[in-house]
Structure 1
Amino acid sequence: MFDSTPERETENATPLPSEVADDVLQDAYSNAVISAAERAGPAVVRVEVLKAQKGGPSRPAGVGSGVVISPDGLVLTNSHVVHGASDFRLTDAEGRAMEARVLGEDPDTDLALLRAGSARNLAIAPIGDSKSLKRGQLVVAIGNPLGFESTVTAGVVSALGRSLRAGNGRLIEDVIQTDAALNPGNSGGPLVNARGAVVGINTAIIRGAQGICFAVASNTAQFVLGELIQHGRVRRGFIGIAAQTAAVSRGHARLAGIDNTTGAMITALEPAGPASTAGLMTYDIIVRADGEAVTGVDDLIRLLSHERIDRAVTVEALRRGQLKSFDVRPNERPMPKAA
């Protein structure tokens, strides 16, 4: 007689290789998220916007997140979190509260730099290289969504090189798309890689969508950070025009020897501004700047970077179907007037 005991055989059965592999992968994934959160989490702060009350203490008027990038209290966050306010309170992962002030902001990239008033030797998160990111790479978002402190969510890089409209209508370039869950209050918090290095600043979600969230790339943040520390603002070129994206007819493009189907049509000129002085006129359609194609207003804004301030820029434009060239010397774009 044979004693058939399948239950005993099941209990003592050796796990299949695929099951072992799944367990190992799950452990590796969990450990990567845990490691990233432990490295970057202490550097994440709650950013409270304070509103003065008549005859009473200030009260919170808005909440976001930020990340400490230097031990003496430099904090990166979103411009839309702090814009228009003057008083702020930061709370770190250990519950320590400190006052803060804005050193500068750049609404064009939705980034702002704060200085903590009294804190020293704060935990920091290093800024990584967003150019090294790959689609599918693990990323972790840390912040204070809906008031829930130090919340960690994980996902992957869904896409790179996206463009996103800032609150002022300007186009933010090189934006990271991720499915790491973000909610109101995450704004300004870091998106980090598995090593805990900041590769993005969480900035936006698409309401009604699931798993479509965006972060400003860390390389953009590095540039903005340098400009804000050195100048208190981000310098950009200004040629004194209002423009709109307009179609270029196929016939005009063929005669001019260009590939554009659209360009930036000038709708208004500032008297004695750089464009007017160079000879540009209303209804001219700008199609190239320094040899780079201009297919609309966004391209023109992007090309008028700080490197081109006070330097001759060759602007090519269609006028009544003919391609004309102008040497324009951009000024520094004026700061927007306070509301």
Structure 2
Amino acid sequence: MVAGTLGAGLLPWPVWAAGPRAITPRGPLPAAEQQVVNLFEGAAPSVAYITSETLQSDGWFGAEVAQSAGSGFVWDGEGHIVTNFHVVEGARRLWVRLDSGPPLEARLVGRSPEYDLAVIRLQRPPANLRPLPLGSSRDLKIGQTVYAIGNPFGLSRTLTQGLISALDRELPTTDYREVAGVIQTDAAINPGNSGGPLLDSAGRLIGVNTAIRSASGSSSGVGFAIPVDLVNRVVPALISRGVAPMPGIGISPVRPDWVARAGIAGVVIADVARNSPAAEAGLRPFNRRSGELGDVIIAVNGRPVATLANFVAELDRVGIGNTAELGVRRGDTERKVRVRVIDLTMR
């Protein structure tokens, strides 16, 4: 020990040779914490950091290159990566970083703005790809613990935890379309998380994180994920055909803004395709000559539909190949009609 002074008139103070303090042993992690650690370590190598390069107008009859980032995840061993459509929209070049490896160039193979889903494929897939195990969104319960992994604000491999706050939400995507059965969660989802996986406590994929509802654009405890049952229907079609199946019954609707201005609640039929399920069911379109309204679809399987977006979401819920019971109003009369739901992209 040596003595020193802080200044004139102050008492001497001792000075010791400083050294690190002894570390208190931690002991094993509690089982619940270790489960989360294992979940992250098992899933993180399958989560993709996606960088897209787009051309943006500079306002002076020119364009400049801009980059943006999002998330995705490994779908299969062939190098297919699932993400949101808005993550890759307009991209002329794409790169994917998996785990701690180098960026890998990828190309777009399928896109669905209607479901905000897209599939890209690695140009040179590595041999050790690890697809995420799939769960089901059909039997989810409010209150279940969920985990989101992604790249918020460019910070790679970020884990957040929360609960399923609500089920069966509807999420607007493109004009006149909504995704039905959306999962609401309070797990922190921020810009850059889009396209990343939402996992259950078993580490299974149950949704694709796609949006937050926030005035500031940052997490406010209300995030949304596209349910995995829908993802598992759309993604195989995007891989094989480049487009998603589109449920329908063979009608063309009157523009929703015109219907809304007329004060009509429901879907007004403009045309009925020949030999379609709608034609087989005897649905009558709007008569342009006489101005007669024809049939207005007001419900699907007992669930009211006030807009075209509601109607399309309900057909999604029914599923292609199944039968829907429509509530139809013609004049002052209401009736129920059964129709097959078909894939409009296959007609």
TM-score norm. by structure 1 comes to 0.73
**Residue identity in the other structure for 1:44:** V
- Is the contact made by 2:252 and 2:269 (CA closer than 8 Å) also made in structure 1? no
Instruction: For residue 81 of structure 1, give the secondary structure of its aligned residue in structure 2.
Output: helix
Which residue of the other structure, out of 85, 97, 101, is the alignment partner of 1:95? Answer: 101
Please state if 1:61 is matched with 2:63. Answer: no
Match of 2:252 among 204, 229, 240: 240
The CA distance in 2 between the partners of 1:287 and 1:301, in whole Å, is 12
Choose the corresponding residue for 2:236, options 226, 242, 253.
Answer: 226
The structure 2 residue matched to 1:140, chosen from 133, 147, 157, is 147
**Quick one: distance in 1 between partners of 2:324 and 2:226?**
28
C-alpha displacement of 1:61:
2.1
Larger Rg: 2
Superposition deviation, residue 317 in structure 1: 3.0
Deviations for 1:48-97, whole angstroms, at most 9, x for unmatched residues?
112369xxxx9552210000121221111101111232421101111321
**Deviation (angstroms), 1:230:** 3.5
* Counterpart in the other structure of 1:280: 284
- Counterpart in the other structure of 2:312: 301
- Structure 2 CA distance for aligned equivalents of residues 219 and 190 of structure 1: 13
Structure 1's 329 and 191: CA in aligned 2 closer, same or farther, altered over 3 A? Answer: closer
Q: Distance in 2 between matches of 1:329 and 1:94?
A: 48
In percent, how many aligned pairs have the same letter?
A: 33
Q: State which drifts further: 278-287 or 175-184.
A: 278-287
- Counterpart-to-counterpart distance in 2, 1:273 and 1:123: 45
Secondary structure, aligned partner of 1:72: coil
Contact 1:106 / 1:233 at 8 angstroms: preserved in 2? yes
1:105-116 correspondence to structure 2 within 5 Å: 105-116=111-122
Superposed displacement of residue 33, structure 1: 2.0
1:321 maps to which of 324, 332, 336: 332
Structure 2 counterpart of 1:207, which letter? S
Partner of 2:16: none
Match of 1:195 among 187, 192, 202: 202
Give the gaps of 5 or more residues in structure 1: 1-23, 248-261
Q: Does 1:166 align with 2:176?
A: no
Which has the larger share of helix? 1
Cα deviation, residue 27, structure 1: 3.0
Report what 1:264 is aligned to: 266
Secondary structure at 1:135 match in 2: coil
Alignment of 1:148-163 (within 5 A): 148-163=155-170
C-alpha distance in structure 2 between counterparts of 1:112 and 1:241, whole Å: 27
Is the 1:102–1:113 contact (alpha carbons within 8 Å) kept by the matching residues of 2? yes
**Secondary structure at the residue paired with 2:30?**
helix
- Alignment match of 2:42 (pick from 39, 43, 66): 39
Going from structure 1 to structure 2, the CA distance change for 1:243 and 1:265 (only over 3 Å counts) comes to farther
After TM superposition, give the deviation of residue 35 of structure 1 in Å: 1.6
CA root-mean-square deviation: 3.5
Structure 2 counterpart of 1:85: 91
- Verify the 8 A CA contact 2:49 2:151 in the aligned structure 1: yes
Equivalent position of 2:191 in the other structure: 184
Give how far 1:315 is off: 5.7
Secondary structure at the counterpart of residue 201 of structure 2: coil
> Match for 1:152: what amino acid?
L
Residues 331 and 219 (structure 1 numbering): CA distance in 2 closer, same or farther, change over 3 Å? closer
**Whole-angstrom distance in 2 between the partners of 1:133 and 1:41:** 23
SS of the residue 1:219 aligns to: helix
Tell me the distance in 2 between the aligned counterparts of 1:281 and 1:91.
51
